[in-house]
A and B are shown apart, each in its own frame.
Chain A
Amino acid sequence: MQDDKELMKGHHEEKAVHGTTHAAAGQAESDSRRQFLNRVGWASLAGFLAINTAAFLRFFYPRVLFEPASRFKVGFPADYPPGTVNSQYQKEFGTWIIRLQDGSFFAMESRCTHLGCTPSWMEAQKKFKCPCHGSGYYITGLNFEGPAPRPMDRFKLSIAEDGQLQVDKTIKYPGIPGKESGEVYPQSLLRV
């Protein structure tokens, strides 16, 4: 930097020999060039940092997940007696397969709508009970006690080509406060 200044000084002195008007013009030209390069420099740095920040943030979103698939098969309809809750897929997939007394099926996310804990199905009391803050739900997922604000969410359940039941967690039927999800979303119920 020191060298640059020396050079600039020499340059100006040279100009001064030829006359003050030229010197002033040269000074102005030099200043605007310096200002331009200054701006280009800072803009490049800002751009570099902005792109790096964006890359840093994107870095935290992995492309491949080593998680259980969001579409999975859960066996044949005949495996499920009416009026039962199947918790076999709760641990790995966070899903219950439920068959109501009338024979219809639905898949429900095992996730309390209060703060996201995992409720348990209490066979004796015929209800889902959340261990965290005591929210209770009927077999249909409708909340009736505790701090839960709405019924639990359901997933799309269909019959695969091989005749097995298939859950699709990417299609979700969120519970609406005070309403039976079976009535709000007739498509969430599967009748075989």
Chain B
Amino acid sequence: MKNPTDIKEKVRKNLIWKSVFRRDYRNTVRDRAQAIFGNIFLHLHPVQVREGAVKLRFTWGMGGITFFAFIILVITGVVLMFYYHPSIDQAYSDIKDLEFQVPFGVILRNLHRWGAHFMVIVVMIHMFRVFMTGSYKAPRQFNWGIGVILLVLTFLLSFTGYLTPWDQLGFWAITVGTNMGAATPLLGYQGPFSEFLHITPFNDVRFALLGGSRVADNALLRAYIWHCVAIPLVSVILMFVHFWRVRKDGGISKPQTQK
């Protein structure tokens, strides 16, 4: 017991340790593989990676970095929710509270804000790379489609998050954004044929987005729910389809000359 190796041995033989890790780990090819596919968090990742797949100058690692940004946003976002009320009376002062009073509030808020900008930028670079390397071609067309939906969801997350501080910037962004919905043909009250179809400010798509005819309480609550719950949920599901299909379609794309 006095020897550190004895303690290590004792911990390894402990029932709790064994129930978590199930088997001993020796640094062999088999055990390294086992560590990947025996772990729910790692099993989406291939056990072995082809040499060409790690060529950073080819992939730029942008897909992985996008996912990394998403994880940062989920963690900081959940923590920020503890101090934020989605109501027009409190939202703005809650942001001030986070900025000036809450311990580590300013770093959390800024991580979330800059992380959001970062994710939008890297997701576009990811798409650019996939396009330039032709990685959307057969058999990856379906995954390109999923990727396009994920891009739109990323923009929507960014857009709905914009309103949450309830400041002038967000308020007018949502005003202008939903007015674009109002001007959409067949969907909005300002679009073509709206009079013929009896589309009014009280039954068009803008009304559904805002939960009313003006940017007010309901609009803030709706943006908040879309931002924090609904869109992330759909995004996560599609992300796993996206990662799964990367593997099923032959692994991460690599230079044609590489094995």
Docked CA distance A179–B213 (Å): 28
CB pair A61 B172 closer than 8 Å: no
CB pair A61 B217 closer than 8 Å: no
Which of A61, A115, A117, A132 is the one whose CB lies under 8 Å from B207? A61
> Does chain B have a CB within 8 A of A48?
no
CB pair A62 B218 closer than 8 Å: yes
Chain B residue nearest in CB terms to A66: B217
Which of B172, B176, B212 is the one whose CB lies under 8 Å from A65? B212
> Does chain A have a CB within 8 A of B18?
no
CB pair B214 A67 closer than 8 Å: yes
Interface of A: prevailing SS: loop
Within 52-73 of A, Cβ neighbours of B (below 8 Å) are at 57, 60-62, 65-67
Q: Which residues of A contact B203 (CB under 8 A)?
A: 61
Number of chain B interface residues as a range: 10 to 19
Q: Which residues of A contact B179 (CB under 8 A)?
A: 115-116
CB pair A65 B208 closer than 8 Å: no
Distance of B162 from chain A, by nearest CB (Å): 15
Q: Mark B179-191, 1 if CB is under 8 A from A, else 0.
A: 1000000000000
> Does chain B have a CB within 8 A of A94?
yes
21 contacts across the A-B interface (CB closer than 8 A): A60-B208, A60-B211, A61-B207, A62-B211, A62-B212, A65-B212, A65-B213, A66-B212, A66-B217, A67-B212, A67-B213, A67-B214, A94-B214, A115-B175, A115-B176, A116-B175, A116-B176, A116-B179, A117-B172, A117-B175, A132-B172
Please, how many residues of chain A have a CB less than 8 angstroms from a CB on the other chain? Answer: 12
Distance of A174 from chain B, by nearest CB (Å): 9
Docked CA distance A65–B218 (Å): 9
Distance of B93 from chain A, by nearest CB (Å): 19
Distance of A14 from chain B, by nearest CB (Å): 45
**A67, A94, A117, A132 — most chain B CB neighbours (10 Å):** A67
Docked CA distance A117–B175 (Å): 8
Give the B-binding residues of A (Cβ under 8 A): 57, 60-62, 65-67, 94, 115-117, 132
Docked CA distance A62–B213 (Å): 11
> Does chain A have a CB within 8 A of B54?
no
Q: Which residues of B contact A57 (CB under 8 A)?
A: 208
Docked CA distance A65–B207 (Å): 11
Which 4 pairs from chain A and chain B are nearest by CB? A60-B208, A116-B179, A115-B176, A65-B212
Distance of B32 from chain A, by nearest CB (Å): 40
Docked CA distance A65–B172 (Å): 22
Distance of A191 from chain B, by nearest CB (Å): 29
> Does chain A have a CB within 8 A of B74?
no
Chain B residue nearest in CB terms to A60: B208
Distance of B164 from chain A, by nearest CB (Å): 19
The answer to whether A67 and B216 touch (CB under 8 A), given A61-B203, A62-B211, A115-B179, is yes
Q: Which residues of A contact B208 (CB under 8 A)?
A: 57, 60-61
Distance of B180 from chain A, by nearest CB (Å): 9
Chain A residue nearest in CB terms to B218: A62
Q: Which residues of A contact B211 (CB under 8 A)?
A: 60, 62
Q: Which residues of B contact A117 (CB under 8 A)?
A: 172, 175-176
Q: Which residues of B contact A61 (CB under 8 A)?
A: 203, 207-208
Docked CA distance A62–B217 (Å): 13
Docked CA distance A132–B168 (Å): 11
Chain B residue nearest in CB terms to A65: B212
